[in-house]
Amino acid sequence: MSYFSKLNNVNIRSVSALPSPEEVRQENQLSIAAGARVVAARRELMDIFDGKSGRFVVIVGPCSIHDRDAAIRYAEKLKALSDRVSDRLMILMRCYFEKPRTTVGWKGLLTDPRLDDSCDIAYGIRLSREILTKVVELGLPAATEILDPVLAQYIADCITWTAIGARTTEAQTHRQLASGLSMPVGFKNATDGSTQIAIDAVLAARSRHSFIGVLDDGSVGVFRTKGNPYAHIVMRGGSAHPNYGPEYVAYLRVVLERAKLPTGVIIDCSHANSGKDFRRQRVALDGVLQQVASGEKTIRGIMLESNLKPGCQKLEPGREPDPEVSITDGCIGWEETEELVMKTWEVVKKSGAGGN
């Protein structure tokens, strides 16, 4: 072993090349009509945050997608439901392919598509994009969380709304990325419930930045951003308490006004707002809808974790997981999803929520 071999890649097991973003997009390219729908959906979402639309946002779908066919079956059901409520609700499907881990665990379809720690990322990228294009071609806007800034370049053209998770909201890398993304971006409050980090993230993302990223041809370049005027906060609760109640919403509204930021927020009915119990998402939603019914305009929409079947399951070696049950956080099942979406539609329609 030469001296120079000890300088680099000491802890790297292997290195392999990825296809370029342009190659992957060419393999699963959006049709012109679907691309136009993405642009229109982003514009509608912007109008909702600007208070120009009478619609209310519902971001709903699996905690994480781990099976292509089950994801498409879910999308087909959600599209039919979306058509029933589209006069007052804008429904986006959660298409989450990356999962941040507190320590270790399955990191999502993009990273480990075969669910066996083989981590065939090239296949994961292609599979995730294939699912996304099918969802968008069905006529559903797609929402996701972006964890790896490089992977964003492979799928961002399909996305209507993006989340930056509680663990990465504080990261400069993700704030810079959000400043250049082409869609509204929601920053989640910190895991301890603090909203100041998310407010700082929104301020940063609305500013100009320069950062290093991957170009369409796979080479490395410098991106110089304009700033994203539709960065906003997602309230997901904290380790000590949920934060969907009226006192938290009112407090955040005042803080945002003082910071001279738009006051529209999304409330995540899962995660800490449900005490990490999927069965309590409906409790959080009821609390949100009471505020909507009373005329609260700060809340622009909600998020629910939902799958074809309720609950969650553990990945076990040698056993195929049920494709319709979450392998990460527990989700409500389809029947309850339909019930809660219809309930949201009824409250929004009756209250006239959405526009100013």
Token pair of 223 as six digits: 């991106």
CB neighbour burial string for 159-191, b if at least 16 within 10 angstroms, e if fewer:
bbbbbbbbebbbeeebbbbbbbbebbbbbbbbb
Instruction: Give the pLDDT confidence of 24-35 residue by residue, as tens digits.
Output: 999 999 999 999
Instruction: Give the pLDDT confidence of 274-311 residue by residue, as tens digits.
Output: 999 999 999 999 999 999 999 999 999 999 999 999 99
Nearest to 311 by CA among 293, 296, 325: 325
* pLDDT at position 46: 98
Phi and psi at residue 255, to the nearest 5°: -60, -40
Tell me the average pLDDT of the chain.
Answer: 95
* pLDDT at position 354: 53
- Mean pLDDT, residues 189-217 taken together: 96
**First and final C-alpha spacing in the chain:** 69
User: Would the pLDDT of 207 be above 80?
Assistant: yes
Domain ranges of the chain: 19-351
User: Would the pLDDT of 342 be above 60?
Assistant: yes
* pLDDT at position 245: 97
How does residue 1 score in pLDDT terms, banded at 50, 70 and 90?
low
- Mean pLDDT, residues 96-104 taken together: 80
* pLDDT at position 103: 67
Please give the Cα distance from 263 to 274 (Å, whole number): 23
Burial class (CB in 10 A: 0-12, 13-18, 19+), 11: exposed
Cβ 203 vs Cβ 261: under 8 Å: yes
According to CATH, what is the number of the domain 19-351? 3.20.20.70
User: Would the pLDDT of 39 be above 50?
Assistant: yes
pTM of the predicted model, to two decimals? 0.95
In 10 A of CB 224, how many CB atoms?
11
Positive or negative, the Cα torsion across 252, 47, 227, 171?
positive
Cβ 163 vs Cβ 232: under 8 Å: no
- Mean pLDDT, residues 258-285 taken together: 96
Name the DSSP class of 193. Answer: S
For the residues of 286-345, what is the DSSP string, one character each? HHHHHHHHTT--SEEEEEEEB-SSSBB----TT-PPPTTSBSSS-BB-HHHHHHHHHHHH
* pLDDT at position 99: 83
Cβ 301 vs Cβ 58: under 8 Å: yes
Please give the Cα distance from 253 to 82 (Å, whole number): 29
Instruction: Give the pLDDT confidence of 117-147 residue by residue, as tens digits.
Output: 999 999 999 999 999 999 999 999 999 999 9
Share of the chain above pLDDT 70, in %: 97
SS3 state of residue 275: coil
Please give the Cα distance from 243 to 240 (Å, whole number): 10
Token pair of 214 as six digits: 């991957």
How does residue 356 score in pLDDT terms, banded at 50, 70 and 90?
very low
Nearest to 331 by CA among 287, 280, 284, 288: 280
Positive or negative, the Cα torsion across 42, 48, 50, 53?
positive
Please give the Cα distance from 88 to 107 (Å, whole number): 35
Please give the Cα distance from 160 to 287 (Å, whole number): 26
Please give the Cα distance from 272 to 242 (Å, whole number): 6
* pLDDT at position 102: 66
Question: Is 356 or 165 the better-scoring residue by pLDDT?
Answer: 165
- Mean pLDDT, residues 299-327 taken together: 96
* pLDDT at position 104: 72
